[in-house]
Structure 1
Amino acid sequence: MIKKKLYWQIPFLIILIVGSIWIVRCQRSMPYQHNTGMIFGTVYHITYQYNEDLQPAIEAELQKVNMTFSTFEKNSLISQINQNKPVKVNDMFADVFNLAEKVSEETNGAFDITVAPMVNLWGFGFKTGQHPSKKEIDKLRGIVGYQKVKLVGNTIKKADPRVMLDCSAIAKGYGSDVVARFLKRNGIHNFMIEIGGEIVTMGNSEQRLPWKIGVTKPTDDKLNNNQELETVLNVTDKAMATSGNYRNFYYKGGKKYAHTIDPKTGYPVQHSLLSATVLAKNCATADAYATSFMVMGIDKARALLEKHPELMAYFIYSDTKGKLKVWYSEGLKPQAPGV
């Protein structure tokens, strides 16, 4: 009886082996598509293994995100909320708002989607050299603060109608996640999505190797001509986001500081952290925490990372002598650029 059972199993094993070989050969012969374009005011690069070019469908997904979160689109959902129009939020907005609120609470307000008025005020001041007055900053502090806005049901409630929302510090990451979900729904398992530096990867690259992503070195290069890498990270089946106003620094007491505004004080942060790269399960989360860490500084960021083992980070900071130094999570294995 046992021999008869084995004889019946042999054909099934053969079919399984032949089927597996056929699938592997199909995957190896399937081409990789390369899509490039503009969205959210920045460039995107998307690479995926598939027989068809899905760029029109991908851009349709990105436009959904754009018309939800772009403050440059007068008819976008967030613009209507900022104009205090009686609108109901969609699922995308609810997802991002709830995540933003969670990260704001976890970081004690270092992440704040109401901070844009302060950032804009200081941005103008940095360009002209005329910094905002204490009176101007104090005036804006009255309408900045993540606690001043709530999602009640499907409606945004503001403590003050002057409160403005800006999800730019999380929307690009969320957009990368939206594209990743779209590709997975189409049965695609090898891809790399990059929108303005916010990245999601899965499977292998065209070289049949894990995806490798470079981390740019912060340098005084406002024209963005220098793309020198600090390190290269293996990023597969993960999301990665980097924050750090590259090529946009100010100096005080001989030290370099990034133009990052603390939502709670209304003033630029003064700590040594120049770049924060975060790896997480999804890009919206990585994006939000990378921004938060730039506000918090390296010491507070490391303390928070101890409470969140699901996150990994790579920090570039300036030591007491002004030299660039790095710190990274134990789970990361940085490599020399180009490796």
Structure 2
Amino acid sequence: METFQFPLYNTYNLIQSDLPADALASSLDLAKRYELLFSRTDPASELFRVNAQAGSTVAVSPQLAELTSSALGYCGESGGLFDITMGAAVRLWDFNTGTVPDPESLASVLRHVDYRAVTCSDATIRLEDPEASIDLGGIAKGYIADGLLDWLERAGGRHSLVNLGGNVAVRGGKDDGSPWKIGLRRPASSLESPSQSSFAVIEVDSGSVVTSGVYERAFERGGRVYHHILDPRDGMPARTDVVSASVVSRRSLDGDGYSTALILMGADRALQFAEAHPRIEAVLVTDEGDVLATSGIGRDYAFRML
């Protein structure tokens, strides 16, 4: 098995496969292509152009149209708890410098948060509100992980793993015939020393494990901790009893599409929601340290606490 690592998408990424090393390195071209499609902040990206031309119908690539259409489906299923038009609100926060937006500015941009104002076809996207902004950062890595696995398979890879900063997708099991063993990261505040230790391991032959957590990007101001998972209803960090939500699914896109919404739902509703959706299984960690899981964890996927 060969391993290829590269920085992109504001994180560190790893690809492992039974392909030759030069073939793995070639996957970087596709990874960079996705960045030029989906980045909200890169002026050269297609999505940046869509936001710049809000109020108009914009011709886009099939990939951006497909991802946006899929994302709108998750927005609807979550009742708007996942909303791709949070771009203007996200811009007001800076989790690197610890910037908290003033209430007036936040209230102003929230008037332009409504995923129902986005329409798309196979080749176009229209953002009806000229003041709105699409942000696909909450779902793009899932789409990219699926796309990279498809590319590896077409290139002849039979056993592959893609890890995009913790979004893990695998296919074909390991080359020794065993399943991939994926660790679920122990929730630990980024205000403390970063923890890469796992609290559990799940076994997957082909599929994905995506984890969202309120501990990942956070800062403290005035005695209050602010984390990066924003609630579309008020633009503030979600107040929830779920500190970590891991979604296990066949497609990594589903993991990204649902994991953030599960945190916003709170533990009881999130567990019921995940149980009712046959495409996913979920493992939740509450602020009391309880670990909750849907019925397929341990039944369909081997699961072990550490």
Same fold (TM > 0.5): yes
Indicate the residue corresponding to 2:59 in structure 1: 88
Structure 1 residues 161, 86: CA separation in 2 closer, same or farther (over 3 Å shift)? same
Unaligned runs of 5+ residues in structure 1 are 1-31
Structure 1 residues 269, 116: CA separation in 2 closer, same or farther (over 3 Å shift)? same
| TM-score w.r.t. length of structure 2 | 0.89
Structure 1 residues 41, 307: CA separation in 2 closer, same or farther (over 3 Å shift)? same
- Tell me, yes or no, if the aligned pair for 2:118 and 2:126 is still in contact at 8 Å: yes
Give the drift of 1:186: 2.2
Give the drift of 1:226: 2.2
Give the drift of 1:161: 1.1
Secondary structure at the aligned position of 1:38 is classed as strand
Match of 2:214 among 245, 255, 279: 245
Match of 1:117 among 75, 78, 88: 88
Indicate the residue corresponding to 2:174 in structure 1: 205
Report how many aligned residue pairs link the two structures: 299
Q: From the two aligned structures, give the one with the greater helix fraction.
A: 1
Match of 2:112 among 124, 143, 147: 143
Paired residue type of 2:137 = S
Structure 1 residues 314, 124: CA separation in 2 closer, same or farther (over 3 Å shift)? closer
Q: How does 1:1-339 map to 2 (within 5 A)?
A: 32-51=1-20, 53-84=22-53, 87-123=58-94, 127-128=98-99, 132-133=102-103, 135-152=104-121, 154-222=123-191, 225-248=194-217, 258-319=227-288, 324-333=289-298, 334-337=303-306
Structure 1 residues 259, 68: CA separation in 2 closer, same or farther (over 3 Å shift)? closer
CA–CA separation in structure 2 for the residues paired with 1:202 and 1:244: 25
Q: What do the CA deviations read for 1:184-221 (whole angstroms, capped 9, x no partner)? A: 11232211111111111122325542100111111134
Q: What do the CA deviations read for 1:96-115 (whole angstroms, capped 9, x no partner)? A: 11111111111000111111
Give the drift of 1:52: 5.2
Larger mean Cα displacement after TM superposition, 255-264 or 194-203: 255-264
Structure 1 residues 256, 277: CA separation in 2 closer, same or farther (over 3 Å shift)? farther
Question: How big is the alpha-carbon RMSD for the aligned residues of Structure 1 and Structure 2?
Answer: 2.6
| TM-score w.r.t. length of structure 1 | 0.80
Give the drift of 1:91: 1.2
Q: What do the CA deviations read for 1:74-129 (whole angstroms, capped 9, x no partner)? A: 1110011111186411111111111111111110001111113223334469925x
CA–CA separation in structure 2 for the residues paired with 1:38 and 1:74: 19
Structure 1 residues 223, 90: CA separation in 2 closer, same or farther (over 3 Å shift)? farther
Give the drift of 1:139: 0.7
Q: What do the CA deviations read for 1:247-305 (whole angstroms, capped 9, x no partner)? A: 44579xx9988542211232332220001110111111111101111222222212222
Indicate the residue corresponding to 1:26 in structure 2: none
CA–CA separation in structure 1 for the residues paired with 2:93 and 2:194: 25
Give the drift of 1:225: 3.3
Structure 1 residues 125, 168: CA separation in 2 closer, same or farther (over 3 Å shift)? closer
Secondary structure at the aligned position of 1:312 is classed as strand
Secondary structure at the aligned position of 2:22 is classed as coil
Identity among equivalent pairs (%): 26
Paired residue type of 2:293 = Y
Structure 1 residues 262, 185: CA separation in 2 closer, same or farther (over 3 Å shift)? same
- Tell me, yes or no, if the aligned pair for 1:33 and 1:53 is still in contact at 8 Å: no
